[in-house]
Structures are given as structure tokens and as C-alpha cells.
Amino acid sequence: DGRQFPHPGHRRPVIGDLLTVDRSRPIQSMLEASRGLGPIWELQVLRQRLVFVGSAALTAELCEETRFCKALPPAVAALRDYAGDGLFTAHNDEPNWQLAHELLVPAFTKSAMRSYHPTMVETASELFDYWDRQLAHGPVDVSRDMTKLTMETLTRSAFSQDFGSFRSAEPHPFVAAMVTALETGRRKGTVRTLPGGGALAWLLDRRFARHQDYVDDMLDDLIAARTGSDDQHDLLGIMLNVAHPETGERLSPVNIRYQILTFLVAGHETTSGALSFALHYLSRNPECLARARDEVDGLLGDDPTAMPEFEQVAKFRYVRRVLDESLRIWPTVPGFARGPRESTLLADEYRMDPDDYAIVSLGAVHKDPEVWEEPDRFDPDRFLPENVKKRPPHSYKPFGAGLRACIGRQFAIHEAVLVLATLVHRFDIQADPDYDLRVTERLTMLPEGFELTLRPRTRTA
């Protein structure tokens, strides 16, 4: 029926392609196994059949909003247990998606970033001060500390809670409970697809419930405490106080809780992974580091502890290219799913019905040899405007596509550029020359065991 796609390795009865997938690094092993299969391939794991596309041309087609829209594969649908009909996990036709999208877009514009800028500066300064105190104890664990930083920035920007991540060795109970709830939720999504997985998921549910209840109760208390106040200085304030200009509708307290959880989940590891990969590449490419530092020194001056004004962040053009190039090689959200609005032929060849979906495999698209020369080489200048113009429009999609693209893109970029710039301004960085990049897969991709030795710069000259 035109729907058989190449698959990696030797397919076995019942388990299908299960043995092709390394459970500790499913995305990377799947990418490796799919090399040479062409622009579209499939994976059948037990009862699940997943179709992937890995070329810029097919991605462009799936990004046509008139024909395709976001789909929710089981792993994303599983997140609905705690993020409900929040922006990320809502089905396209759920009324709360449209409402929340319209109410929240203004809270994520470039100009809205001006109001989050002081929080971002303050949190980054706390991390750097913490590092100053830690230096005597040896190298810093980059992914761990970047994850603390992005979580802390989000909790402060979203609901003005300071969890003191850099003042205490132990994570705040809220952060610990949320991380446990998330991890359990992710495992639940996986086991549900196994034979007998329902019972396992039920067992996990019992464990999950305690942590999730704690997180939910805390957020519900916070929402209740702020209800009635007209303060709009953070995301929670905006969600409580802004009504739809035409219909007057507002988000319900439960939906506000879903949105807060969504921002925390969608915004923290994604950004910390991007920061960590960028630092990995900077530490490995001395010319790139020198160019980044020249740019920042030129804009921030002699004092290594200087922090930028809001307007200065957009001027770190080279640092921004470093971030873009890191997200090309390691898109921290490794893919997104698109399904047809009506039955259609993809590439005039592959039939797709409304219940089908294809996953855009960003690790493959961002290295499509039709588009990217020497795709494994780290070269931030690929993102010079004149080079971007030469490429087909949908060859780079780290923030997804169309209406359901990332609402937090500006937030992530502003924070990541600010942190990278000020970090290289303040510290000399040195990686362990024996470290080979290892990537751990949680909800997103993160460098594992990546450490940097930092030395404070005294003067920037």
C-alpha cells in the first residue's frame, strides 16, 4: 500500500526491531542504525510502529501547515498525566490550546524578555559566585550546574520562587519531587508499550503519585495565594490576570498548573543541554572560543564580572552562532511528530492517513548531506546571515514547526546567549583532554560526565 519503509537491521517476529535499539541510548542507537536507509525509515518495536524522516526535503513537506500538524506519539501523550492539556501536550483541537496560546504569546515575545532579563542576570551571577567558591574543589560538572541554573531561572520567572539552588548542596524538595515525578512519568510512558506494561505502569503510578501530589499541591497553593492580586510581574501573574480580549475567557486554575509544569519541563533541560553542548564545543575549539571572547570583551569591557544590559545580549552575534551550531549538531529536543490533516501522499509516494504520523529526526535532518557540507564539523559561521539565506528554509528546526513550534524560543535563546557570553568573559575554561563526548538521553539530550576546569580572569585584556 505504499507504506512499507526500510528498517534497520534484522527484524524479528513479535519484538520487531527491538534489538536494534539500545535502551540506554535509544535515539543515538536508532540514528546510527538508520544510516544509509534513505530519507524515510521505520522502526517496529513490539506493538508500536514509528516512521522517521531524516531529510530536509521531507521535513519541509511535513512543515506545510495546510497539510500537516503536530501529532502526539505515545511518549509525548504519556506526559499528559501531569501536564494535561498544557501547551506542549494539548491536542490541536483542544480549546485550551488556542486560549493559552493566544494569552501567552505576548509573554514570550522579544520585548517581554526585557522583564525576565534581570532575573536571568541575577541567577547567572549566583551560579558564577557559587563556582568561584567551588574552584578549589576541582572541575565543575557542567550539565548538572546548567540544569540547576535553567530550573532556577524558570521558577523565578514563572512564579517568583527562589529555590536557592546555589546556596545549598541539596536540591529544594519541590525540585527533587518534580525531577522524580518526571523521571517516573517518562518510564511509565515506555513500559506502557510493553506486553503486560499496564501492570508495571500501575506500580510506577503508585510511586509517581506521591511526588506528583506534592508538586501539584504546592503549585495549587501558590496559584490560590496569588488569585485576586493584579500583579503581572511573572508568568503566573499574567496567566491569572489576562483575559482573552474578545471572549473575556481566562485559564482555569488547573490549566494554569498544567502550564507552569509545562514551562518547567519544556524549558529547563532543553536549555541546559544547549548550554552544555555549546560549552563542550567552545572548550574544544580554541579559535571559536577566542572569537566569542573577543566579541564579549569588546562589548562588556575590562571587568570580568560585568553583566550585560538587555539590549547588549542581541549584539553577541558570534555567541549566538555558537549556540545555533551546537543545536544543529545536538538538537536537545531530538525530534517532533507531524501527522496529516487528511489522507495524503508524502513525497508523492508514501500514503499517510490522519491517524499516522512521522517523526522528524533532527539528528539526521541537521546533518542531511544534501544541505550541510561536512556535517560533523563544528562551524558557527554556517549561521552567518549570508549562509543561512543559501539554505532551504526547513533544514534547521531545533524549535519545531508551525503553530506548535516552541513558544519559549526567545526565552531560551536570550538566557543561553547571556550565560555563554558572561561565562567566557568571567572564566578561562579548560576541558579534560581525555574526555570523549557522551550523551545521556532523558526527556532531552545532555552531555554526560562533562567537566570544565575554570579559572577566574582577573582582567579581560
When the beta carbons of 105 and 224 are compared against ligand HEM, the nearer one is 105
Least gap, CB of 100 to ligand HEM (angstroms): 8
* Listed ranges 1-9, 30-38, 182-190, 260-268: which one lies at the site for ligand HEM (CB under 6 A): 260-268
Q: Is 266 in the site for ligand HEM (CB under 6 A)?
A: yes
Out of 124, 238, 412, 429, name the contact with ligand HEM by CB under 6 A: 412
When the beta carbons of 20 and 147 are compared against ligand HEM, the nearer one is 147
Out of 255, 271, 326, 422, name the contact with ligand HEM by CB under 6 A: 271
Q: Is 281 in the site for ligand HEM (CB under 6 A)?
A: no
Residues 331 to 390 in contact with ligand HEM, rule: CB under 6 A:
332-333, 336
Residues 20 to 49 in contact with ligand HEM, rule: CB under 6 A:
none
- Catalytic hit among 399, 411, 427, 450: 399
Q: Is 238 in the site for ligand HEM (CB under 6 A)?
A: no
3-state per-residue secondary structure call for the chain: CCCCCCCCCCCECCCECHHHCCCCCHHHHHHHHHCCCCCEEEEEECCEEEEEECCHHHHHHHCCCCCEEECCCHHHHCCHHHHCCCCCCCCCCCHHHHHHHHHHHHHHCCCCHHHHHHHHHHHHHHHHHHHHHHHHHCCEEHHHHHHHHHHHHHHHHHHCCCCCCCCCCCCCHHHHHHHHHHHHHHHHHHHCCCCCHHHHHHHHHHHHHHHHHHHHHHHHHHHHHHCCCCCCCCHHHHHHHCCCCCCCCCCCHHHHHHHHHHHHHHHHHHHHHHHHHHHHHHHHCHHHHHHHHHHHHHHHCCCCCCCCCHHHHCCCHHHHHHHHHHHHHCCCCCEEEEEECCCEEECCCEEECCCCCEEEEHHHHCCCCCCCCCCCCCCHHHHCHHHHHHCCCCCCCCCCCHHHCCCCHHHHHHHHHHHHHHHHHHEEEEECCCCCCCEEECCCEEECCCEEEEEECCCCC
When the beta carbons of 159 and 336 are compared against ligand HEM, the nearer one is 336
Least gap, CB of 284 to ligand HEM (angstroms): 20
Active site residue 153: no
- Catalytic hit among 123, 270, 271, 444: 270
* Listed ranges 113-121, 169-177, 351-359, 395-403: which one lies at the site for ligand HEM (CB under 6 A): 395-403
Q: Which residue is nearest to ligand HEM (CB)?
A: 408
Active site residue 68: no
Out of 21, 58, 69, 87, name the contact with ligand HEM by CB under 6 A: 87
Least gap, CB of 250 to ligand HEM (angstroms): 18
Least gap, CB of 271 to ligand HEM (angstroms): 4
- What amino acid positions are annotated as catalytic residues? 270, 399, 406
Footprint on this chain of ligand HEM (rule: CB under 6 A): 70, 87-88, 101, 262-263, 266-267, 270-271, 274, 332-333, 336, 398-400, 404-408, 411-412
